[in-house]
């Protein structure tokens, strides 16, 4: 059983989670890489399912620091396999290996894309109703038509979960009085994202085509 007694707090949302010692160390490693813009390091050591690829060197480091290997999953390197063979001979607990996911990576990531770590009440937001309520009190026909057009494009691409996540992010940043940019890239072509608050550029004023964003 994995013991999770280390508290980690998200600096943006203020939400906390209890982690194991290994998870806690990995979390701070990733946060440091993010803060220093070492994006390659953020991905280093992760397998195609975004799981930590712990090898014998990580196991040795944990033991040197008097940490338990219980609950730590290792990739089946030759050294790890050799160690486990000796464990069987000596009748001691072997290292836990990363389990076979049983699905291909595309199916896995497709499934994960529908699972967002946001509060449940955000997952239940009616996107159509939410965006329409963000329109001016007396919207123009152009604004109405653009919302209808964009929402259909988002729906057809199964992007409603992303819109719900963006609503949560914007609400969280406003709650904590965080500042974000005016807008950049092709996302400013989306009137719906403008209404949600993702950017400050009204694409209707500049005749920006939504297909510049949703191709």
The DSSP-derived string for 135-147 is S-SS--HHHHHHH
Query: Is residue 110 in a domain?
Result: no
* Final residue of a structural domain among 81, 105, 129: 105
Give yes or no: residues 71 and 138 share one domain: no
Question: pLDDT tens for residues 99-150?
Answer: 888 888 888 877 777 777 899 999 999 999 999 999 999 999 999 999 999 9
Bridge partners of 52? 46
Query: Is residue 58 in a domain?
Result: yes
- Number of separate domains in the chain: 2
Give yes or no: residues 126 and 92 share one domain: no
CA–CA separation, 48 vs 183, rounded Å? 31
Question: pLDDT tens for residues 77-94?
Answer: 899 899 999 998 898 889
Question: pLDDT tens for residues 43-79?
Answer: 666 777 777 777 888 788 778 877 778 878 888 889 9
Give yes or no: residues 80 and 126 share one domain: no
Contact 130, 114 (CB under 8 A): no
Give yes or no: residues 101 and 11 share one domain: yes
6-9 and 16-19 strand pairing: antiparallel
Q: Which domain holds residue 167?
A: 120-212
Give yes or no: residues 153 and 63 share one domain: no
Q: What is this structure's pTM?
A: 0.60
């Amino acid at each position: 059983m994995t013991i999770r007694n280390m508290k980690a707090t998200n600096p943006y949302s203020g939400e906390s989670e209890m982690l194991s010692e290994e998870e806690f160390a990995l979390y701070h490693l990733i946060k440091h890489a993010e803060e220093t813009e070492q994006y390659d390091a953020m991905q280093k050591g992760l397998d195609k399912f975004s799981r930590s690829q712990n090898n014998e060197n990580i196991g040795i480091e944990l033991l040197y620091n008097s940490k338990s290997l219980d609950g730590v999953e290792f990739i089946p390197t030759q050294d790890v396999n050799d160690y486990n063979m000796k464990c069987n001979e000596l009748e001691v607990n072997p290292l836990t290996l990363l389990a076979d996911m049983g699905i291909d990576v595309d199916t896995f990531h497709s499934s994960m894309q529908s699972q967002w770590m946001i509060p449940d009440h955000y997952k239940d937001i009616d996107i159509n109703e939410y965006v329409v309520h963000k329109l001016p009190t007396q919207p123009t026909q152009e604004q109405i038509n653009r919302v209808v057009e964009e929402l259909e494009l988002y729906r057809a691409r199964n992007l409603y979960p992303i819109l719900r996540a963006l609503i949560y992010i914007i609400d969280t940043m406003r709650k904590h009085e965080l500042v974000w940019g005016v807008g950049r890239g092709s996302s400013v072509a989306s009137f719906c994202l403008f209404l949600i608050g993702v950017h400050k550029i009204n694409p209707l004023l500049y005749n920006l085509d939504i297909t510049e964003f949703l191709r």
